[in-house]
Structure 1
Amino acid sequence: MYKVDLPVDESVQQAVERRRAAEAERKGRIFNTRDRVIGVDLRALHKQQEEKRERLEMEKQRDMAHDLLRLSLDETTLQQKKEEEELRRELARDLVQYRAIHQRAEDSRDADINYDRQEAPDASISVSDSALGPASMQVFLGEGINENEKKRAQMEMNERNLRAQKEEREKQEREQKNKELLTDRELVEKDLRAVQLNALEEECKRVARIALSHYNQAQAEERMEKERQEKLRREGEELAEVRYIVTSDLLTERPEAAKRITESSAEGPRVLTDRWKGMTPQQISDIHRKREEQCFEKERLREMERQRDMAWDYHLTEQVRQQEREETRDKELQRERRVQLDKYNQQLAREQQAHQHYLDRQLYTNRPTVQYFTQFNTSSR
């Protein structure tokens, strides 16, 4: 027979592994001292969650602020790049224009000769035919005439071109300096304008304050003038009243101010103006009597008011004394309660010390060793 490799059933092994893993997890959960003894502090966990949430929110806001700052910096960088590219394009255009105007190929010194050809020898130098040979003719008839004048003219032209380039560069530098000066001047003018505007604003505020002060002063003067006019009016009315009283029939005893009569008539009671000679002694005595009665009544009312005030003061004093006595009684009761509480606490402390002494010296005399505790909780079952 041939040996055949049959597949091994691993379900039993997997079940054993699952049970072992569950047992290990259960041991870790049961033998965890924090969960078994201390327990879970929900308030601390909630506080940690709240702090974590706040931290995440702060980090989110900080990331958003960084993103906004990054976007603003990117926009600024892009704007600077655009400005630099625009400046480069302007410089390139100026360079191309300068080359097209001042550095043309037809104005160069060697524009009329071939660049691949070497410089021709000077015709003034005498070269023998034996040195050149019949096939080495490089100097021909008519060539090299006025070469020195041409070189001199070319050098002068180069000098003029260099001078023109130098002047153009100096001109550009002056223009750049002028631009910078104009820019600085504009900035200075803006600063001066801002300072002037601030000064004008302060001046306007000062003028407004002065106007308001003048307005308030005018209002005060107008009110004082009204009060003065009102005072003068009242004084005039009082003087007129005094003058009227002094010049009235009551004090002047004018003959036309007759006394009243009681006989009836068709028109009612009337006064005979030709018979009045002043007040009678009876009327004067009645006036004095009524005045004395009024003084007595006023003195009686004043005495009643004084007695009522004294009674009210005595009542308030009694209330204050009663309140002070109650406060003293409360303080005494609190002191007695504190003393009793201290005695009770001392008695409890002595009882607890005696109980602890009994536990330590009489009851728990056989202390368990470490081996006693290690024999428990060796398994989760």
Structure 2
Amino acid sequence: MYKVEIVPEAIQEQAISRRRKMEEERKKRFFNSKVRTMGIDIEKIEEQIKKKHEMREIEILRDKAFDDSLIQMGQVREMMEQKRKQIHKMQCQDLDDYRKNQQKFEFRREFDLNDPKRLFKDKPARIGDDDPRKSVSGCQFFGGEDLTEKDRIKRQKEQMRVWAIEQMAEKAERRRKEIEEDKNFEDFRLRCSAECRKLQEEEKRIRDLQTAETVEYNKRLAELKRFKDYNYKIEDEKQNMRQIDYQLNSSKYILKEENKINPYTNRLRMDSYKGMTPKEIQDILDYQERQRQENHRKREIELENESKWDLRRTVNDLACKLLSQEQERQRREINKKINEENQKQAIADKERKEFYDKVLYTNQPTDAFYDQFNTTSR
């Protein structure tokens, strides 16, 4: 194989032509408003979503139609299957009836050779000793032959019948004896039940007597308890009266001046203290009155201080109000100056704009100015 030398200029020209072709295609995509989309096309997305929902609903309806068709086909198939089974059943039944009625075993040509009752239907070799078919050379009579078999079997059957009747009679007698024994047992059970009821009634009567005796005994105990409680109450009242009398007349519970002060400590005796004297009570009342007057005087001083503070608060509020009015007046003056400055600035801006529009920016752009834009996609 020979190596082909590729000229670098040809490769470069191919690359340049390929890039120019890609640039032209890029321009077509960028500068075509039908193809280019700036940002997100909400209407297109909503239309796509709507179409998607419609396709989904159509798909759901299609699936539902297929399901309904499948169910209907299944029902039709089931009906056809049942009909086929019914026809097959009728055919088999007709075939069985035909075989049963028209193709019986006895209707066959070879039935006389395969008849299971052929020997029963055939005539015996000999009916009796006077059978006219019997001949000298027929070998119809032999020594030791039981010619009274039928009579013997008949007598045996009669004997069996008699035995069966006797067994039935014995069975009936046993049944009668069982019934009689059951009746005797039932009578014995009834007598036992009657005796049990009598014993229960006697037990109930004895229990009622015991209950009555217990009630009577409880009543006597209650009467005795009430009597004891009454005596205890009387004794308790007497004890209380003696206690009250002792408290009223005992020196231990009566206050005396000589017993009030302890001579050793010159203090009140707590064991014999029975309350304050009128003088002590009057001293306490006088001390409370002095406390009330002192509190009244303190309250008047507090009211006077509160009135002074109220006056000072009123003066401070008036001063704050005047200061606020002065600040408001200064703020209005500052706002007025600012408005004047803004009006002057607006007039200057208007003059500057007129200068720009009428003097400075007087040249109009031509088509050559706009043609320099959108010449490349980069």
- TM bin (shorter chain): 0.3 to 0.5
Q: Which has the higher contact order (CA 8 A, sep 6+)?
A: 2
Q: TM-score, normalized by length of structure 2?
A: 0.34
